[in-house]
A and B are shown apart, each in its own frame.
Chain A
Amino acid sequence: AQSVTQPDIHITVSEGASLELRCNYSYGATPYLFWYVQSPGQGLQLLLKYFSGDTLVQGIKGFEAEFKRSQSSFNLRKPSVHWSDAAEYFCAVGATNFGNEKLTFGTGTRLTIIP
């Protein structure tokens, strides 16, 4: 069965500093990988996704993520965070053989931005 681990429950970063959120997955085949962001009290918004091809994917709001098969990781990065990036971030993995009916989410990383 597939699984996702986000080892950092809470991260605090200064505004303007760089950011990296970690995500490790477990899946037997080539996965579909996603990052979602959730602002307080809101639904989830898709930041970016990886299906195949270039392992460095660009998303919205200046985010990018790199798929590293050897490390089973899909870490999310941003070179300079803004106060509006404060939110909860979820990594997710989906199956490739029958769509994403079994999309599995990590437990999330809460990002706090300090001035």
Chain B
Amino acid sequence: SQTIHQWPATLVQPVGSPLSLECTVEGTSNPNLYWYRQAAGRGLQLLFYSVGIGQISSEVPQNLSASRPQDRQFILSSKKLLLSDSGFYLCAWVGGQGNTIYFGEGSWLTVV
């Protein structure tokens, strides 16, 4: 069966420091992959999606970037974090009937 993992689960970083969140999917090939952010008291916002290696689409202008170096690996990065980057980040992939989106466990990022 397919599984999705992301890490680290929690992260506290100072303003101006770099960021790297990693997501991997197992049990499938060439999945569509997504990064969502959930800020406190808000819904989910799509940040990036990828339909293949090296193919990244950005939904909103921001301080973050994404990369897909391997088929089942999706990385969310920043060179210099801002306080507003704090939030809950969710990796997701598409599979099953009707392209259902399945989410990872999430990563809590607190920028201090």
List residues of chain A with CB under 8 Å of any chain B CB: 32, 34, 36, 41-46, 49, 51, 90, 92, 94, 99-103, 105-108
In the bound complex, residues from chain A placing their C-beta under 8 Å from that of B42 are 107
In the bound complex, residues from chain A placing their C-beta under 8 Å from that of B99 are 32, 94, 99-100
User: Range of interface residues on chain B?
Assistant: 20 to 34
**Pick the contact of A43 from B32, B57, B105 — CB < 8 Å?**
B105
Distance to closest chain B CB from A44 (angstroms)? 4
Given contacts A43-B90, A51-B98, contact A102 B103 (CB under 8 A): no
Are A49 and B44 neighbours in the complex by a CB distance under 8 Å?
Answer: no
Are A108 and B43 neighbours in the complex by a CB distance under 8 Å?
Answer: yes
Are B101 and A100 neighbours in the complex by a CB distance under 8 Å?
Answer: yes
Are B90 and A44 neighbours in the complex by a CB distance under 8 Å?
Answer: yes
